[in-house]
């Protein structure tokens, strides 16, 4: 079994952002299993956490940025590439400004930070996603294709990248095929730096970007090649494109195993491929859940929850992982009592009952903390409640509760419900732990 990994101790580096030029400090901190890679803007009045997820991508030219509300973190791809290349699964990345330091334009300084911190194996199985079918996205002449691995036992990502700037530029065409493991990433990909054509520099500066940079900070290609700089590899440009791709693919939330064929792609198309992979991944996850043996059947659920007909809204628990995560099922039939009065001509499940079903899953999750303590979890508050789709007779609700913080006195959970791969509802739910004889 391959285990999840984090770092042993905090490390930090300071520098100016590639695009904005703003000085900031970035600090890597160890994180718990299953927490993933999370950026934390510590310069805000209350620290703002932004998960490294494609859901949080904010549209930008020539870079990847993440957003939570009005708070943005610019140019995260090099930092994420270092984490992915070294197989770091869980990390809190604190940032004192709105852009990650550009350092030398590659991800090698971030790799060195992680190596300096040391890598810690964690007591949790590493979850990967293996490409199972051909997935293709394109935009004009740019294309990305994801394919299953050539070796079914492979645990690596293989990339074939065709970079073509045309014969009229000093970059020209560069093609590289590489199998990315720990050694090849550190040696052959991590040192490759950001590059730009000299003809593009003036336009970028007129747009307010990169005014602080000089020829030593970034590889600028003039008519005769790099200006006042030397390449680290003859084909450094295509290597950097692969570096960016590795970082962007990490926004899936799981390491990707398989083959990627890329032609002229950039960050925007990389994000589209991640979204397309996720659609397939979620369909496969949903199918697998529905056929697996339930973790808890209705008899065991009734021993945990105090609810009874018509308010017991969970039929079975498919997965439960300590106090971290629970996944359950609610089968919605035309015989539900609420359909008699809730839009009877075109019956839909009341939204408040969908929230109640998610809360019941949360109660089951928190019961793992409360076992043998004589307490039950009681709904305390709801926040960020959103409804995305109507639920009708015949639908099967998949209910997910994930813990943000759990103590003996309360719980804070992130919950959502889906039908198939469609999001139905989501909410942040807080619970208070109450003596069972008072409920």
- The half-sphere exposure of 241 on its side-chain side, counting CA atoms within 13 A, is 30
Distance CA 156, CA 4 (A): 15
φ/ψ of 324, rounded to 5, equals: -90, -45
Q: How many CB atoms lie within 10 A of CB 33?
A: 19
- Label residue 15 exposed, middle or buried (CB < 10 Å: 0-12, 13-18, 19+): middle
CA dihedral 384, 389, 395, 401 (to 10 degrees): -20
Distance CA 297, CA 285 (A): 20
Three-class DSSP category at 377: strand
Q: How many CB atoms lie within 10 A of CB 234?
A: 8
- Label residue 374 exposed, middle or buried (CB < 10 Å: 0-12, 13-18, 19+): exposed
Does 271 qualify as catalytic in the annotation?
no
Composition of the chain by helix, strand, coil, percent to 5:
25, 35, 35
Distance CA 439, CA 437 (A): 6
Marked catalytic residue, from 240, 261, 267, 271? 267
Distance CA 270, CA 242 (A): 11
Distance CA 147, CA 133 (A): 6
- Would you say 243 and 190 are in contact if contact means Cβ atoms under 8 Å apart? yes
Distance CA 267, CA 278 (A): 17
Angle of helix 267-291 versus helix 236-249 axis, rounded to 10: 40
Does 372 qualify as catalytic in the annotation?
no
Q: How many CB atoms lie within 10 A of CB 390?
A: 15
- Would you say 367 and 375 are in contact if contact means Cβ atoms under 8 Å apart? no
Q: How far apart are the first and last CA of the chain?
A: 43
Marked catalytic residue, from 307, 342, 412, 416? 342
DSSP line for 196-243: EEHHHHHHHHHTT-STT--TTTSEEEETTEESS---SSTTHHHHHHHH
- The half-sphere exposure of 377 on its side-chain side, counting CA atoms within 13 A, is 30
Catalytically annotated residues? 267, 342
């Amino acid at each position: 079994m391959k285990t999840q990994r984090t770092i042993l101790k905090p490390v930090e580096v300071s520098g100016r952002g590639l695009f904005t030029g703003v000085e900031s400090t970035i600090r890597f901190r160890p994180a718990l299993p299953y927490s993933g890679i999370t950026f934390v803007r510590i310069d805000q009045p209350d620290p703002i956490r932004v998960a490294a997820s494609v859901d949080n991508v904010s549209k930008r030219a020539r870079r990847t940025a993440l957003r939570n509300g009005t708070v943005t973190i610019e140019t995260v791809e090099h930092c994420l590439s270092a984490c992915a290349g070294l197989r770091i699964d869980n990390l809190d990345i604190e940032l004192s400004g709105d852009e990650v330091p550009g350092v030398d334009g590659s991800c090698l300084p971030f790799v060195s930070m992680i190596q300096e911190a040391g890598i810690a194996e964690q007591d949790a199985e590493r979850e990967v996603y293996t490409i199972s079918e051909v997935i293709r996205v394109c935009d004009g002449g740019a294309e990305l294709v994801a394919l299953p691995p050539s070796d079914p036992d492979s645990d690596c990502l293989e990339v074939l990248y065709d970079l073509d700037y045309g014969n009229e530029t000093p970059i020209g065409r560069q093609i590289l095929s590489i199998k990315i493991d720990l050694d090849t990433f550190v040696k052959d990909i991590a040192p490759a730096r950001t590059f730009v054509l000299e003809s593009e520099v003036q336009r970028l500066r007129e747009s307010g970007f990169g005014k602080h940079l000089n020829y030593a900070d970034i590889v600028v290609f003039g008519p005769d090649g790099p200006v006042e700089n030397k390449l680290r590899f003859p084909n450094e440009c295509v290597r950097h494109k692969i570096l960016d791709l590795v970082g962007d693919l990490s926004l899936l939330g799981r390491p990707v195993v398989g083959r990627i064929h890329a032609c002229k792609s950039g960050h925007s198309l990389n994000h589209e491929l991640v979204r397309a992979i996720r659609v397939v991944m979620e369909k496969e996850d949903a199918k697998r859940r529905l056929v697996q043996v339930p973790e808890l059947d209705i008899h065991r659920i009734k021993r945990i929850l105090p609810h009874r007909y018509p308010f017991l809204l969970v039929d079975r628990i498919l997965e439960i992982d300590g106090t971290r995560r629970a996944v359950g099922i609610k089968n919605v039939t035309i015989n539900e009592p609420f359909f008699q009065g809730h839009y009877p001509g075109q019956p839909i499940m009341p939204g408040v009952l969908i929230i109640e079903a998610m809360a019941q899953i949360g109660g089951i999750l928190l019961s793992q903390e409360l076992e043998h303590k004589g307490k039950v979890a009681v709904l305390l508050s709801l926040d960020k409640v959103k409804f995305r789709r109507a639920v009708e007779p015949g639908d099967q609700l998949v209910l997910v509760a994930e813990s943000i913080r759990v103590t003996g006195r309360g719980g804070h959970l992130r919950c959502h419900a889906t039908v198939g791969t469609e999001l139905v509802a989501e909410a942040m739910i807080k619970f208070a732990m109450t003596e069972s004889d008072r409920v």
